[in-house]
C-alpha cells in the first residue's frame, strides 16, 4: 500500500509540475495545442519531462518505497565489508562513491539507481546478505556498479522519454483522425486511451530489448570487477531461489523465468543465457 501511494503521489506531483510548465511555455512560444507542432511539444514535455523528473527523484523514491537504510557509518563487519567493496569497485570503474543501503526483504535482490554516475544509490536486500556468500555478493555489487558506470539509468530514461513522447503524440493523432467532426469528448478520450495502450505495448518491446542488453553488459562488468566465476556463481545462486517481484528500476538484478514470445517483454534475459554469455566472452 505504501508503494502504491508513493507511486500515485509522485506521478500526480509530476503532472502538476509539467502542467504549470506547459501553461507558461505554450504562450511564450506561440504554440497552439490544436496544431500538430503544439501537440508534439505538449507530448514531449510530458513524455521527456516525466521521465527525467522521475530519474531525478529515483533515489528518494527507491529508498522510501522499499524502506532502504543508507549506511552512513558502518556498525557491523558486514556493513563495513559492503561499503569497502562498493568503494573499491567504484574506484576501479571510475565513478563517484555511490550511497550504499540495505533493505529488509527475504528475496535475493539488489538494485542501482540515481541521476548520474556520481550521484547513485546501490541497495541490497537482507535476503541477499543471508543467502549469498561474500564472493557471490561481491559479483552482484560489481553488476550494480557496472550499471552505474555504464550510465544505464540515464540512457534508459532517455529512451523511455522519447518513446513516451511518440506514444502520446501518435495516439492523439489517430484519435483526432478517427473522431473528426465528433465533439464527444468521452469517445475521444477512450480512443486516445486505447491507442496509447497499443502503442505503449509496442514501445515496451523496445525498452525491454535495451534493458536485456544492459543486463548482459552489467554481467560482463561484474565479471571484470569481481571475477567471471564469482559472477557465474551469483547467477546460479539466483537461479536456485525464488524470482524477485520488484518492478521497474528496482529489478536491476532480478530474473524472469518465462520463455518464448513473452521474452520480448522481459527486462532481464533468461539466466542460462546470461551464464552462457559470460562463458563465451570471458573464457
- The catalytic site residues sit at 144
- Total number of residues shown for the chain: 283
**Ramachandran angles phi, psi of 115, nearest 5°:** -80, -15
Residue 23: CB atoms within 10 Å: 9
Cα separation, 210 vs 222, in Å, equals: 18
DSSP label of 121: E
H or E segment and range at residue 254: none
Burial of 27 (0-12, 13-18, 19+ CB in 10 A): exposed
Q: Where are the beta strands (DSSP E) in 7-131?
A: 69-70, 99-103, 110-116, 119-125
Cell triple for residue 209? 530489448
Cα separation, 262 vs 270, in Å, equals: 11
Longest dimension (CA), the chain: 70
**Secondary structure, 3-state, 162-200:** HHHHHHHHHHHHHHHHHCCCCCCHHHHHHHHHHHHHHHH
Cα separation, 45 vs 22, in Å, equals: 7
Cell triple for residue 168? 502520446
Amino acid at each position: 500500500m505504501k508503494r502504491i501511494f508513493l507511486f500515485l503521489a509522485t506521478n500526480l506531483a509530476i503532472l502538476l509540475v509539467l502542467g504549470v510548465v506547459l501553461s507558461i511555455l505554450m504562450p511564450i512560444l506561440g504554440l497552439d495545442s490544436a496544431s500538430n507542432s503544439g501537440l508534439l511539444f505538449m507530448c514531449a514535455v510530458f513524455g521527456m519531462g516525466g521521465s527525467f523528473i522521475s530519474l531525478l527523484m529515483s533515489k528518494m523514491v527507491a529508498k522510501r518505497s522499499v524502506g532502504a537504510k543508507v549506511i552512513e557509518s558502518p556498525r557491523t563487519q558486514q556493513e563495513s565489508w559492503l561499503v569497502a567493496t562498493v568503494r573499491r569497485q567504484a574506484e576501479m570503474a571510475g565513478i563517484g562513491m555511490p550511497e550504499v543501503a540495505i533493505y529488509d526483504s527475504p528475496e535475493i535482490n539488489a538494485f542501482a539507481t540515481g541521476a548520474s554516475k556520481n550521484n547513485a544509490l546501490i541497495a541490497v536486500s537482507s535476503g541477499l546478505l543471508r543467502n549469498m556468500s561474500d564472493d557471490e555478493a561481491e559479483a552482484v555489487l560489481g553488476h550494480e556498479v557496472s550499471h552505474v558506470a555504464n550510465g544505464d539509468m540515464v540512457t534508459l530514461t532517455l529512451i523511455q522519454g522519447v518513446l513516451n513522447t511518440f506514444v502520446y503524440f501518435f495516439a492523439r493523432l489517430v484519435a483526432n483522425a478517427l473522431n473528426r467532426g465528433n465533439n464527444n469528448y468521452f469517445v475521444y478520450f477512450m480512443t486516445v486511451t486505447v491507442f496509447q495502450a497499443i502503442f505503449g505495448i509496442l514501445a515496451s518491446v523496445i525498452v525491454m530489448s535495451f534493458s536485456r542488453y544492459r543486463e548482459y553488459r552489467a554481467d560482463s562488468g561484474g565479471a571484470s570487477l569481481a571475477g567471471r566465476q564469482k559472477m557465474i556463481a551469483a547467477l546460479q545462486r539466483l537461479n536456485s531461489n525464488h524470482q524477485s517481484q520488484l518492478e521497474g528500476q528496482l529489478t536491476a538484478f532480478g530474473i524472469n523465468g518465462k520463455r518464448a514470445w513473452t521474452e520480448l517483454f522481459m527486462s532481464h534475459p533468461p539466466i542460462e543465457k546470461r551464464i552462457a554469455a559470460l562463458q563465451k566472452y570471458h573464457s
